[in-house]
């Protein structure tokens, strides 16, 4: 067997390579947050122990975000009271019950949760975006292989470009 790699090892290496391609730096992740007041502080405070998917995939109201941010302070998130208030405002504005999804920058977890797609479909959206450039209209999403046209059309008013 000298020189040839076991199938298991080859698979592990392929998976590690795929993971590296998907992984973003914290800085890129923060820059991909929707624009608006509080974006910088939210990136700094909340993209730290985990990436933005943890919060971008959610759609919570003000009470729920206040509670969630409080839990993160318990987890060890460091910020002043003013910064935390700005973070809550930003989260309510951009990830509130009726907030749109920015399909050109949203992470896989947000695409999956907010559009109700399967994990494979959400990955396909991101792959398509990386290969073909930005989506401009909701119909562009229908070009993604294996896309669920009914789900996309049902959510078309939630999509932001």
Minimum separation from the CB atom of position 145 to ligand HEC (A): 28
Contact set for ligand HEC, span 39-98 (CB under 6 A): 45-46, 48-50, 54-55, 58, 68-69, 72, 75-77, 87, 91
d(CA 141, CA 134): 10
- Listed in sequence order, the DSSP H helices in the chain are 7-22, 26-31, 39-46, 53-56, 62-75, 81-94, 108-115, 119-132, 149-154
Of the two residues 54 and 104, which places its CB atom closer to ligand HEC in the complex? 54
Cα 149 from Cα 151, distance rounded (Å): 6
- Cα–Cα distance measured from residue 150 to residue 156, given in angstroms and rounded to the nearest whole number: 10
* 114 makes contact with ligand HEC (CB under 6 A): no
Radius of gyration of the chain (CA): 18
Rounded to a whole number of angstroms, the minimum distance from the CB of residue 147 to ligand HEC is: 25
In the complex, the smallest distance separating the C-beta of residue 91 from ligand HEC, rounded to whole angstroms, is 6
Minimum separation from the CB atom of position 148 to ligand HEC (A): 23
Size of the site for ligand HEC (CB under 6 A): 16
Contacts of 20-25 spanning 24+ positions with Cβ under 8 A: 22/108, 24/51
The least distance separating ligand HEC from the CB of residue 79, rounded to whole angstroms, comes to 7
User: Interface residues with ligand HEC (CB under 6 A)?
Assistant: 45-46, 48-50, 54-55, 58, 68-69, 72, 75-77, 87, 91
């Amino acid at each position: 067997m000298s020189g040839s790699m076991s199938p298991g090892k080859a698979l592990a290496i392929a998976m590690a390579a795929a993971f590296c391609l998907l992984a973003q730096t914290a800085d890129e992740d923060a820059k991909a947050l929707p624009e608006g007041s509080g974006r910088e502080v939210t990136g700094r405070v909340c993209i730290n122990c985990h990436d933005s998917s943890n919060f971008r995939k959610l759609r919570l109201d003000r009470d729920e975000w206040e509670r969630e941010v409080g839990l993160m302070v318990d987890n060890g998130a460091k910020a002043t009271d003013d910064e935390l208030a700005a973070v809550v405002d930003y989260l309510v504005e951009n990830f509130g019950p009726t907030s749109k999804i920015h399909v050109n920058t949203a992470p896989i977890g947000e695409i999956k949760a907010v559009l109700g797609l399967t994990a494979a479909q959400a990955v396909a959206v991101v792959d398509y975006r990386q290969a073909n450039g930005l989506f401009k209209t909701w119909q562009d999403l229908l070009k993604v292989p294996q896309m669920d046209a009914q789900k996309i059309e049902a959510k078309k008013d939630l999509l932001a470009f």
